[in-house]
Structure 1
Amino acid sequence: MSTGRPGLHLAEPDEHEVEVRRPRVIIDNSAWQRVATEPAVRAAIEAIIWTTAPDDILICPPVAAEYGFSARSLEDHSAIVLTLAGAFSDCRVHPEVRDVAAIRSALFAAHMGRAAGAVDVLIAAYAVVNQATVVHYDRDFTHIARAYPGLRQQWVVAQGSL
């Protein structure tokens, strides 16, 4: 590929090269549910929101389902849906059955087959295929990452600090 400068040519990108992207995050319900009661979690989530491009804070159906499950009434649920729909970008890529199965298989191979719930495995699959980090306060994601190194995860605050 010519750059327009004499003598300077760049190689065409290799089809196997990974595109460099901005950091993306999926914030799990285990973190969101602590925002109102834990100042350290609130500060950590605010820092993520202020330092991450709005299009890079992602929401996926399993997180929306978990968050909606925490509603106490129809009005509460409606407010949650409006908040989620307006504040975060939908994951553009959806995992396939084989993506989810690969994570569960890795857990079984690591003798942790039931160490993570079904919803957290789905969230992990969304994170992997969207190249996002799951921000959480839930040991399931640590177990998944141990068995499936393709998952990027981070505790919203230090594990055991709450």
Structure 2
Amino acid sequence: MSTGRPGLHLAEPDEHEMEVRRHRFIIDNSAWQRVATEPAVRAAIEAIIRTTAPDDILICPPVAAEYGFSARSLEDHSAIVLTLAGAFSDCRVHPEVRDVAAIRSALFAAHMGRAAGAVDVLIAAYAVVNRATVVHYDRDFTHIARAYPDLRQQWVVTEGSL
């Protein structure tokens, strides 16, 4: 692989190195629900989609359930399910009970036992085991990351800006 500098060539990364370098995202419902009404959120999500390999934007069952819950009719729900299933990759790894429990235990150890809802803890567990960053507009993920540093999370736009 050429680095663009004369005389400096690096070996092509092996499969393991490529896996480590990949940046995956799980986009939480707290971000998705603002795409239609907040131009800054729409721009941020579009930038992630534009700059990320299609297989690296993941969907997990709890995000799909949250997004589906926001539907207003059967037709709306069907459209949501088709959109999510067709546009994003399923998480390849599913958290075990111990993964979810470890996050909740970390919250309790940090005196924040109830600072994050059950669904957000489950989404965080999916993100951790799939080495993905949760993109959100929800303080729960900030609380989880504070207690459980293995969680990578980022606000879709600056906290408090909406």
**TM-score for both structures, normalised by structure 1:** 0.89
CA deviation after TM superposition for structure 1 residue 13, in Å:
12
CA deviation after TM superposition for structure 1 residue 131, in Å:
0.1
Unaligned 5+ segments in structure 2 are none
Against the structure 1 CA distance between its residues 101 and 73, is the aligned structure 2 distance closer, same or farther, given a 3 Å change threshold?
same
Against the structure 1 CA distance between its residues 138 and 5, is the aligned structure 2 distance closer, same or farther, given a 3 Å change threshold?
closer
CA deviation after TM superposition for structure 1 residue 21, in Å:
3.2
Q: d(CA) in 2 for partners of 1:15 and 1:81?
A: 32
CA deviation after TM superposition for structure 1 residue 20, in Å:
1.4
The structure carrying a bigger helix percent of its residues is 2
Against the structure 1 CA distance between its residues 106 and 79, is the aligned structure 2 distance closer, same or farther, given a 3 Å change threshold?
same
The RMSD of aligned alpha carbons is 4.2
Aligned to 2:126: 126
CA deviation after TM superposition for structure 1 residue 36, in Å:
0.3
CA deviation after TM superposition for structure 1 residue 132, in Å:
0.1
Identity across matched positions, percent: 95
Q: d(CA) in 1 for partners of 2:45 and 2:99?
A: 28
1:20-68, Cα deviation, whole Å (9 max, x unpaired): 1310000000000000000000000000000000000000000000000
Q: d(CA) in 2 for partners of 1:151 and 1:8?
A: 36
Against the structure 1 CA distance between its residues 16 and 99, is the aligned structure 2 distance closer, same or farther, given a 3 Å change threshold?
farther
Larger Rg: 1
Against the structure 1 CA distance between its residues 98 and 17, is the aligned structure 2 distance closer, same or farther, given a 3 Å change threshold?
farther
1:120-141, Cα deviation, whole Å (9 max, x unpaired): 0000000000000000000000
**TM-score for both structures, normalised by structure 2:** 0.89
Q: SS of the counterpart of 2:93?
A: coil
CA deviation after TM superposition for structure 1 residue 19, in Å:
5.0
1:86-120, Cα deviation, whole Å (9 max, x unpaired): 00000000000000000000000000000000000
Against the structure 1 CA distance between its residues 21 and 74, is the aligned structure 2 distance closer, same or farther, given a 3 Å change threshold?
same
Q: d(CA) in 1 for partners of 2:37 and 2:2?
A: 56
The count of corresponding residues between Structure 1 and Structure 2 is: 162
